[in-house]
Structure 1
Amino acid sequence: MVTIGGTGVMVLGALAAGLAAVLLALAVRRRLGTASAVSVSGLLWSLAAIGLVTLVPTRADVGIVPAETRSESCSWDYGGPSGAAFEVLGFDQRTLNVLLFVPAGMFLVLAVGRWWSGVALAPLGLAALAAYSLGIELTQLQLARLDRACDVTDMVDNVLGAGIGFAIGLLLLPVVRPWRGRRTAE
């Protein structure tokens, strides 16, 4: 049986997605301007990285989780015991869940900030990030092979992270000014 998982696979996948994002930014830079190209590519990279970190099994040796031992529903125990069970670089799982979504919220604002329609698109995008988090949790519930758990705490932390990133993006918007990179045909 071939198994894929672990932090090495997550990091390698995130690096590969980062390389693809850089190539995309270079390809669309002339059309969108540097700030918008980096923002759109950064948003796509962050979405890919979130998918990798949340949907790749934490260990390569997980194996198949028997159907009778898998959870049948999401945990509604807010702040439950899973937060302290996992730690990376001194950060607990709850902090990591928040930090994971910060770049997506920030890049979202900067990506749509070049257009006036961004005033409507940015809040819709924030709602889409919340839906993405819900989709990930439901996928973790359905795919027992991942050995992951659907947890309302994760969804709240993810949306909090997206909201923090959204606020950072709003603060950076006047500095980055993605609208100035537009080129007009002369």
Structure 2
Amino acid sequence: MVTIGGTGVMVLGALAAGVVSVLTALVTRRWLGTTSAVAVAGLLWSLVAIALVTLVPTRADIGIVPAESRSDSCSWEYGGPSGAAFEVLGLDQRTLNVLLFVPAGMFLVLAIGRWWSGLLLAPIGLAGLAAYSLAIEFVQLQLARLDRACDVTDVVDNVLGAGVGFVIGVVLLPMLRPWQGRRADH
């Protein structure tokens, strides 16, 4: 049986996605300008990184989780089934869930801040990030092999992180001025 998982796989995947994102920024810079190209590439990278962190099994040795032992519903208990049991670098799971979505929210605003339509697209994009979080939780529920828990707390924390990133992006927008990038680059 081939098993894939663990932090090494997540980091390797994030590095590979980072290389593709840098290449994407270099290719699109000519048309979008540096700020917008980096923001689009950063948004794509952050979405892949989120998928890696949330959908790759935490350990490679999990094997097959029998369907009868997996949960058949999401936890609606705020605080979730795992609570503070998971910790990385002294940060608990809830803090990590918030931080995971901050770059996506920030890059979203900077990626579409180049156009006036961004005023309409930004809130739609934020709703899209919330839907992305919901989709991840649904996949975690359906795929027992992941050995992950579907939890409403994760969605709340992820949306909070996307919102914090969104505000950071709005604050950075007038400083970075992506709408001027293309003229300044030529």
**Matches of 2:80 and 2:67, distance apart in 1:** 23
**Alignment partner of 1:100 is 2:100:** yes
Contact 2:34 2:182 survives alignment (8 Å): no
Show the counterpart of 2:148: 148
Contact 1:141 1:148 survives alignment (8 Å): yes
User: Using a 3 Å threshold, how does the CA distance of structure 1 residues 103 and 12 change in structure 2: closer, same or farther?
Assistant: same
Show the counterpart of 1:18: 18
Show the counterpart of 1:126: 126
Between 1:117-126 and 1:79-88, the stretch displaced more is: 79-88
Post-superposition offset of 1:181? 1.4
Contact 1:40 1:108 survives alignment (8 Å): yes
**Matches of 2:179 and 2:83, distance apart in 1:** 40
Show the counterpart of 1:139: 139
Corresponding letter in the other structure for 2:121: L
**Matches of 1:96 and 1:27, distance apart in 2:** 32
Show the counterpart of 2:70: 70
Show the counterpart of 2:176: 176
Q: Which runs of 5+ in 1 are unaligned?
A: none
**Matches of 2:165 and 2:80, distance apart in 1:** 24
Show the counterpart of 2:33: 33
Q: Which runs of 5+ in 2 are unaligned?
A: none
Show the counterpart of 1:57: 57
Structure 1 consecutive aligned stretches of length 4 or more whose deviation exceeds 2 Å: none
Find the residue that maps to 2:3 and give its secondary structure.
coil
Aligned pairs for 1:77-88 within 5 A: 77-88=77-88
Post-superposition offset of 1:179? 0.3
**Matches of 2:58 and 2:81, distance apart in 1:** 17
Corresponding letter in the other structure for 1:146: L
What TM-score do you get using the length of structure 2 for normalisation?
Answer: 0.97
Contact 1:31 1:183 survives alignment (8 Å): no
Show the counterpart of 1:165: 165
**Matches of 1:30 and 1:76, distance apart in 2:** 47
